[in-house]
A and B are shown apart, each in its own frame.
Chain A
Amino acid sequence: MGTAGGSGKRARGAAGWWWSPDRDPPETFEAVGLLDVPRVGPADVTRLMARLRGSGGTLRTRAVRDIAETLGRTGERILDSELDDLCPQVAAEASLSEAMARRVVVGMAGGWTRSALSRLLESEFPDPGVLDGFRQVGGRMLHARGLGLTLHLGAGSVPGVGTTSLIRALLVKSPSLVKPGSGDVTLVVGFLRLLWEEDPELAACAAALYWRGGAEESRLLEDRAFQEADQVVVYGGWEVTERVRKSVPAHVRVVSHGPRVGVVVAGRDTSPEAVADAAAVFDQRGCVSPQVVLFLGTMEATAAWARRLHGALSDVAVEYPPGPVDPALASRLHQLRGALELRAAGGEEVLVLGGGGSSTVVVAGLVDVEPLGGRTVWIVPCRDRSALDRGLEAMGPVLQSVGVDEPALREIVAVRAAAAGASRIVPVRELAFPPAEWLHDGSRPLVELTRWAEWR
């Protein structure tokens, strides 16, 4: 490991920062949760971002294949030799069990390997050399350039999101500052340290700095970072994404990845084990994790399948225990469970299984669905295909991935889900970890970070 990052005067927590060791290290730190975070002001942010912007010249001289090779080698080092070091810290900061943290890191880093990044480049650009200079593309001379400086703003606790975002920006040759989410600092900092060992020149084009998002004292830092960036990529809830849109100057591009919901379309032959596994990954914090199952069948068939799903969720919890229970979530689940049990006692067709332990399964109408996370799966019975269509259409604005296994349903669901707004229709077992080239929120993840020029 390199010497930069967390090497300041306090050595209590994990490093809440990284930048190239040939630059001045921070001198004072404060503890924020489990992290040691440098005490910096807006002027420090300006200096850091100016240096990053200055590294863009070097970055643009590098061939994109070379950058992808180096980033891929770094990603593979995480998989090959760093898991034991990284995973306990990831588990602690993201409130995941160690087993789940390891699963998440392995799954996310699977998209950071040389082969994955090569696939990503080729799926986005017929000739990836278009990122190095003008190339003939469809009879036109085109050149795709990453923007001068990208700020990545993570607001959640899904490990790996910040690193994926950073890799995408570096692939299009945009120097980057990453403000990771509170549960995603270790992977970003760890990746940058390894990258520095692999290729100090490339690593000098990126930095990471954690601050507490939304906190009053962080606003000045955030506002300054918005001023200095050419592009802000933001991940988080609507409150965060809306705030960023309002705060970023008009000339700065905002790429927003707001919250979405994962859905499974199931029938009696759908494997509850596969759905349980997909729902458990990230403890259901990822937008690809299914929160809702549209079940094609009667209430009786739905209830029977729900019981199988609840059993499968319990089994998954043995291998991948949930993280520490969040008291607020536990309180919400008690409220939910009691309210639904009372409705059931009143003769309504609702069913709730679990609720106090590692998972909850609810059978109820779409009108009742309240995604809560914490491995809570809502099953909506759909008596026929038109009910299924209505369910997909209703969730259209927030649909992300749709999992479907039933052969008889796959084609029709793909057409209907895409029409409703889904960006990914896949077998249930592929839900949790999309490949590097996935169409994130319906966009091409590299193309959306570039600006194109034509030479005639």
Chain B
Amino acid sequence: MGAGPSEGPEPGGAEPPGQRPPTLAVKPLSPILDALEAELRDRAATWTGGSDPFEEDDVFNDWALRIHEAQCQAYPALARFWEGRGSPRPGHWTEIPPVPAQAFKSTPLGPDGPEAVFRTSGTTRGGEKRGEHRIGRLSLYRAAARLSYRAALLPGGASVRLLSLVPHPEEDPHSSLARMVGFIALEDEVEEAVWYFRSTAGVLVEECRAWLAEACEDRTPVLILSTAFALAQLLEAMATRPVGLPAGSSLMETGGFKGHAVALGRDELYDRVWRTLDIGEPYIVGEYGMTELLSQAYDGQAGSAGPVGERRHHFPPWVRTRVLDPVSLEPADPGTRGVLAHFDLANAASVSHVLTEDLGVLEDGGGFRLLGRAEGSEMRGCSLMAESFIRSLEGRR
């Protein structure tokens, strides 16, 4: 293991695949969680992103309704919420009203006594409430995340050396992303993993530089896992001293630049990756994940990812995504932009149907095009808006 808080417990923080948890944190949900986890684990060895029984509408719908029923029993408040929205006994998963992502900021969602609590990140301006997602079973998170990241980031099964520009899960135990990177570090293909990002100091540039220089001498490809912002920091620092990483090296970037002074378009970011690290566009994969969801979407497979402007994000088959009209919340016309709502079966222990503020378009060939966050229009006046109000009242109410 490399530098940083990577010594000690396994970075994933969960039991290895194949072992069952000794107790179940969420008793009313236990049967469905057991069944779902078994389903996902069965796929672990074979699934490479191809067809899957969950793609059958009936299969998915049956799972979704069973999970919904279990969630209603486990969480009376959620049951009352859905009842209030006029959907006591839905016949199809699309009839289950999605719970807005913002609800995670005001209502604890997930079981009491969770194995982990994931929190959304605040902005640099602060004053923002942070969402909280209680995780009933980390093993289920790992199973759900694993199938997708293996397909997207470790498609050939070749050995890699891993550089994480995401905090170690011990340093940031409430980060779902950090936890996922911890899972990836446990994969057999990962020969070595180093964590060169600190929450207080940012990217450890000198350590990165030395490690990457050493990696260039080796033939083992490198896998870099980073937020877009940390990546931009690294590229800026290395711009005058680029390196040529071994063939087959790849990179996963996630997140945007919200709240940061520096912002780069993806075209420019990827171009800089190529010029600075010699990792070409086909080897750069974009990840879309949320604290509120246990499954992730990727926009390609390392080594064969398409041109950045043509990419579509794909979730695994146990997630269904709809694009909804932002005003009516009715399904948007095909090809029309709207807000994304995801139904993630892996969220069985908390709430599966989540309404986001992300904008996107569903594509004919499957997948969705991510268009960023629904930002406020220019129609503003001199009245104070939420962020400024909260910021100004910080500590006074």
Residues of the A chain whose Cβ atoms lie less than 8 Å from the Cβ of B397: 366-367, 390, 394
Contacts of A67 in B (CB 8 A): none
Q: How far is the CA of A339 from the CA of B109 in the complex (A)?
A: 11
Residues of B with C-beta under 8 A to A407? none
In the complex, the answer to whether B381 meets A287 with C-beta atoms within 8 Å is yes
Whether B27 sits at the interface, judged by CB under 8 Å, is no
Given A369-B389, A373-B383, A398-B392, answer yes or no on A339-B103 (Cβ-Cβ < 8 Å): yes
Query: Any chain B CB within 8 A of the CB of A289?
Result: yes
Binary interface profile of B, 64-101, with partner A (CB < 8 Å = 1, else 0)? 00000000000001101100110000000000011111
Contact A334 B77 (CB under 8 A): no
- Which of B106, B377, B379, B390 sits near A343, CB closer than 8 Å? B106
Closest to B373 in A: A328
CB distance from B371 to the nearest CB of A (A): 11
Choose among A282, A328, A398 the residue that contacts B381 (Cβ–Cβ < 8 A). Answer: A282
Contact A261 to B389, CB < 8 A, known contacts A330-B327, A335-B355, A394-B396? yes
State whether the Cβ of A345 lies closer than 8 Å to any Cβ in chain B: yes
B382 on the A face (CB < 8 A): yes
Of the candidates A235, A282, A397, which one forms a contact with B392 in the assembled complex, judged by CB atoms under 8 Å apart? A397
Are B383 and A343 closer than 8 Å at their CB atoms? no
* A-side contacts of B213, CB under 8 Å: none
- For chain A, the count of residues having a C-beta within 8 Å of the partner chain is 66
Interface status of A183 (Cβ within 8 A of chain B): yes
Determine if A334 and B384 form an interchain contact, defined as CB atoms under 8 angstroms apart: no
- The chain A residue with its CB closest to the CB of B107 is A342
B379 touches A157 (CB 8 A): yes
Given the complex, which residues of B lie within 8 Å of A75, measured CB to CB? none
Residue of B81, B105, B381, B384 most packed against chain A (CB within 10 A): B381
- Is B329's CB under 8 angstroms from A346's CB? no
A395 & B393 in contact (Cβ 8 Å cutoff): yes
Number of interface residues of B (CB under 8 A): 44
With A334-B329, A339-B105, A397-B393 as given contacts, are A156 and B382 in contact (CB-CB < 8 Å)?
Answer: yes
Q: Which residues from B are CB-within-8-Å of A369? A: 389
- Nearest residue (CB) in A for B98 is A338
Interface string of B165-198 (1 = CB under 8 A from A): 0000000000000000000000000000000000
Q: Mark interface residues in A337-363 (1 if CB within 8 Å of B CB, else 0).
A: 111111111110000000010000000
Check A285 against B380 for contact (C-beta < 8 Å).
yes
- Whether the Cβ atoms of B383 and A285 lie closer than 8 Å is yes
A367 to B390, CA, bound (A): 9
Task: Give bound CA distance, A346 to B109, whole Å.
Answer: 11
In the bound complex, CA of A236 to CA of B97 (Å): 37
Q: List, in ascending order, chain A residues with CB within 8 A of B204's CB.
A: none
Q: Which residues of A contact B81 (CB under 8 A)?
A: 338, 341-342, 345
Known A331-B326, A342-B107, A398-B392: A262·B383 in contact at CB below 8 Å: yes
Contacts of B396 in A (CB 8 A): 393-394, 396-397
Contact with A along B359-395 (1 / 0, CB 8 A): 0000000000000001111111111111011111100
* Nearest-Cβ distance from residue A72 to partner chain B, whole angstroms: 24
Residue of B77, B84, B328 with most partner-chain A CB within 10 A: B77
For residue A86, CB closer than 8 A to chain B, the reply is no
Nearest-CB residue, chain B, relative to A326:
B377
A260 touches B382 (CB 8 A): yes
Taking a contact as CB atoms closer than 8 A, the residue among B78, B355, B380 that contacts A345 in the complex is B78
**Shortest Cβ distance from residue A139 to the other chain B in the assembled complex, whole angstroms:** 39
* B106 with A328: CB separation less than 8 A: no
Q: Give the chain A neighbours of B106 by CB distance below 8 A.
A: 339-340, 342-343, 368
Residues 276-318 of chain A, each 1 if its beta carbon lies under 8 Å from chain B, else 0: 0000001111110101000000000000000000000000000
Q: What's the least CB distance linking B181 to chain A, in Å?
A: 28
The reply to whether B383 and A182 form a contact with Cβ atoms under 8 Å apart is no
Query: Is A394 a contact partner of B393 (Cβ separation < 8 A)?
Result: yes
User: Using Cβ atoms and an 8 Å threshold, which residues of chain A touch B384?
Assistant: 259-261, 287, 291, 371, 398
* CB<8 Å pairs between A and B, sample of 25: A156-B380, A158-B381, A161-B382, A237-B385, A258-B382, A259-B385, A259-B388, A283-B379, A327-B326, A327-B374, A328-B374, A330-B327, A332-B357, A338-B98, A338-B99, A339-B106, A339-B107, A369-B389, A371-B384, A371-B389, A373-B383, A393-B396, A394-B397, A398-B384, A398-B393
- The 8 lowest CB-CB distance pairs between A and B, nearest first, are A285-B381, A338-B100, A370-B386, A345-B80, A346-B77, A158-B381, A335-B102, A327-B326
Interface residues of A, Cβ cutoff 8 Å to B: 94-95, 155-158, 161, 182-183, 235-238, 257-262, 282-287, 289, 291, 323, 325-332, 334-347, 356, 366-373, 390, 393-398
